Structure 1
């Protein structure tokens, strides 16, 4: 693989290996919580966490008598810094269950507004858009979907789906773009009585949905889950395991409306949910574990828990010089721009591979995430940006790159100095290489998932 990096690039790199410490306990306390006009605590209801470039962003429901959506950020899922109002338009008054998805350079917020204003119909979901996870998010649509608790899931093939409350069940609508919702259908996910708060994830080719039932102010508010081989139908509740999260006695009750997020170690999953604060609602976090295709939650907990494990190595390049932790192979110029991102703006001599290698070694099995963007198009006939992994020497390593001209992901291994057959996967139409994207590499034994 020759001249596989061209143009001006920017990177944030994170490699996994568990390294946890300290401890946290539920409920978590964050600053600048919402309060009612009379000063009563409203708190962090319906929490949702977005992970972007290794940083977590927390969004929660807005108190009914005020406009705006608040956002907090964290690098470890435990210590949260208030970042202010990420949306302030009057239409966000009483914004419920805001969720944010990143796609191709923009952030899209989906939030339900429950209250009707004189002369307008605010009831239902609206879409807001921003260039940053901290806003400002600006409304792009009117009411697109009636109901509450919208959740967006983007499948491996780039197809979008929107899940929300139906008639005592969870409905799904295919989406042709961030603003266009298709016809609804019943996913099959249902509880006895009211059903709300869906979250959909995909694991090993199977789709898992968590959802919440009973009234939000009931002590027996709870979380169930269902699974399916399809993202749109056939979700079967895990009857022998449900509810997977419930506590109806004592002080830690009213547990529900969760989202699921990948932890800082790149491999662990966590469930974030709320509980009653009397008044208001509190933020909680517990570990999700898997037994084959069965989902388990190690909670609800109120005792001290290990902090989420951090990666063995990460570099956010928050300095001015590259330092001794990196090695240039094959020439070219690399540097750090604005104390925040790594870049490459020239390559070395033709006929060589041009790489920047971390001096930190991984275990044989590892997970790595490379966040990157092509700031400028290179002049080479091979306009690629990407990542090197499993590097042993110049004759043995793997490369995963994004090919702007072919609009695809390309993976190749060099073994004993010879390249294997290239594996390619097409990327969505309109893929913008100048925006942040992530290449994720998972290695277990001789198997790789790119």
Structure 2
């Protein structure tokens, strides 16, 4: 037996889809607007996970330019047909509208870290597609979206059989189940003459859960279990909240587990907020006398510590690498490329060329890494000489274009003067500007004049819901501005739908010439559990 500690993949790793192939377990997660697209982790024992690659080419043209925050790739489904891996996923281009404007794709690969086939578009009934392989037949499951005025945006779960080679439908689309509550994320598994349909219920927030239905045939009718398999919505004291979006997997010895998403909130005066986003967890599952899956620990709440029937074996493969700007780095809406992110000109430094501003959905020069614990510290050495207020470079805590905290080098008028653009006359000073952005707008919190004749060390310390920025002056950390509300960088703040997680990174912009560059070295993000 192996003791695992949930979450097993920590910090912004939602919508897990897990398979076992040989001695390895693999889990794929949503990437939304971020690249690399559809990150995949692997494990020998279900407890210790490492990055194993991603689905390169998942987005046609390798660009999500213009896609809103929390759009992009939703809920990929990873499967194995005995010969190759299959991945199906939806690219959602509209968030908060009745249409979603989603395209569903399928791609395959012999190795998760290898070359994936060019994605092929298939029937796009809604988001959260999944594939089910059954005795040589291939079924596409999907949420059905009724976009009409007065229609149900979650109008039931449908299944369409596809031809293996052409991926075209071989017959009619079947309605498997409708439910009065919101259900999505369908996954099918076969056991003991039954087809079990797992459903993500209640949305992705604190009301989330996993329902199970079953049928003797793939196309139904499906009978719903009379209780959720998993949820934490009835007890705010459960450490793993938002538990839902589950998938069942049989282990080699006949035991079963449930992979699912969950979140670890911090408490704030405005209620719980999950700054780390939704993460990947695993539960042990048994089957009751009536043939329904149940959590082995009893009840329906997720456990933090879980014993699973697996035996660790030596890892005989080197960790996967995407290169110097690959994982754990991520960038919004496109891969970093040498036109704006350069690691060759100056060894051991990253040179970023400024492009659009931080609220752009097209060309923001940002590299970021996932924050995985409630205690975290990030720091970086930056060398830059901005000459205008339209140029800036620095350290950022990032959730999205309407939720970030940034400490950056930029230009400002002489102390005591208003913002009149005197840089064109050669005056002014170089400053550190601390800015916070939320739905209420952008606010400059503090300004500190600095000497940039030598590289400057910038940093930020996160403790729960608080973030404190600082820089190194005369060998000592000097705070910049007051503590800021880090909890605003969460799914739970504001009125708009948000699905990702907080990240720490570096960014640069140049709104006039797109030629200003800044050099960064010794970026460090240290996250401490506990």
Aligned residue among 95, 104, 118 for 1:125 = 104
Q: 2:46 aligns with which of 77, 81, 103?
A: 77
Give CA-to-partner distance per residue, 1:87-115, whole Å, 9 cap, x none.
Answer: 24543752111122233633221011111
Aligned to 2:230: 245
CA–CA separation in structure 1 for the residues paired with 2:117 and 2:94 = 19
Matched-pair contact (CA < 8 Å) for 1:286–1:300: no
Hey, what's the Cα distance between the residues in 1 that align with 2:168 and 2:52? 30
Alignment of 1:185-264 (within 5 A): 185-188=174-177, 190-217=178-205, 219-239=206-226, 242-248=227-233, 249-250=236-237, 251-263=239-251
Q: 1:90 and 1:294 mapped to 2: Cα distance?
A: 38
Which 4+ stretches in 1 moved above 4 angstroms? 314-318
* 1:432 counterpart residue number: none
- Alpha carbons of structure 1 residues 122 and 65: separation in structure 2 relative to 1, 3 Å: farther
C-alpha distance in 2 between matches for 1:290 and 1:104: 26
The corresponding residue for 2:278 is: 281
Cα separation, 1, equivalents of 2:138 and 2:117: 21
Cα distance change of structure 1 residues 106 and 29 upon mapping to structure 2, 3 Å threshold: closer
Per the alignment, in what secondary structure is the counterpart of residue 28 of structure 1? coil
1:210/1:104 CA distance change after superposition, 3 Å:
closer
Give me the TM-score of the superposition, normalised by structure 1.
0.56
Q: What does residue range 351-430 of structure 1 map to in structure 2 within 5 Å?
A: none
Tell me what 1:113 maps to. 91
CA separation of 1:301 and 1:256: change in aligned 2, threshold 3 A: closer
1:82 is paired with a residue whose SS is strand
- Output the CA distance in 2 between the equivalents of 1:234 and 1:144: 22
Distance in 2 separating the partners of 1:138 and 1:192: 38
Please tell me whether Structure 1 or Structure 2 has the larger radius of gyration of its CA atoms: 2
Cα-to-partner distance string for 1:387-440 (whole Å, 9 max, x where unaligned):
xxxxxxxxxxxxxxxxxxxxxxxxxxxxxxxxxxxxxxxxxxxxxxxxxxxxxx
Contact 1:69 1:88 in 2 (8 A): no
Q: Does 1:296 align with 2:294?
A: yes
SS in 1 for 2:254: coil
CA contact (8 A) 1:112 1:149 kept: yes
Tell me: CA distance 1:68–1:185, structure 2 relative to 1, closer, same or farther (3 Å): same
CA distance in 2, matches of 1:134, 1:266: 27
* Counterpart pick for 2:20 among 43, 48, 51: 51
Tell me the distance in 1 between the aligned counterparts of 2:32 and 2:209: 22
Partners in 2 of 1:109 and 1:73 — Cα distance? 15
Q: 2:172 aligns with which of 168, 183, 204?
A: 183
User: Does residue 1:61 correspond to 2:30, yes or no?
Assistant: yes
> Any conservation in 1 of the 2:86–2:107 contact (CA below 8 Å)?
yes
- In 2: Cα distance, 1:215 partner to 1:53 partner: 34
Aligned mate of 1:95, from 73, 86, 93: 73
The correspondence for 2:254, drawn from 255, 259, 267, is 267
Gaps of 5+ in 1: 1-19, 34-42, 319-450
- Name 2:415's counterpart in structure 1: none
Q: Which residue of 2 aligns with 1:27?
A: 7
Deviates more, 1:44-53 or 1:129-138: 129-138
**CA distance in 1 between partners of 2:116 and 2:28 (Å):** 12
How many Å separate the matches in 2 of 1:287 and 1:68?
29
Between the two proteins, the alignment pairs up a number of residues equal to 276
Matches within 5 A, 1:273-352: 273-277=260-264, 278-279=274-275, 280-292=277-289, 293-298=291-296, 299-310=300-311
Alignment gaps of 5+ in structure 2: 65-71, 145-153, 265-273, 318-530
Q: Considering only aligned residues, what root-mean-square deviation do their CA atoms show, in Å? A: 2.7
* TM-score (structure 2 length as normaliser): 0.48
Would the alpha carbon gap of residues 295 and 132 (structure 1) be closer, same or farther in structure 2, given more than 3 Å must change? same
Aligned-partner Cα distance in 2 for 1:143–1:221: 28
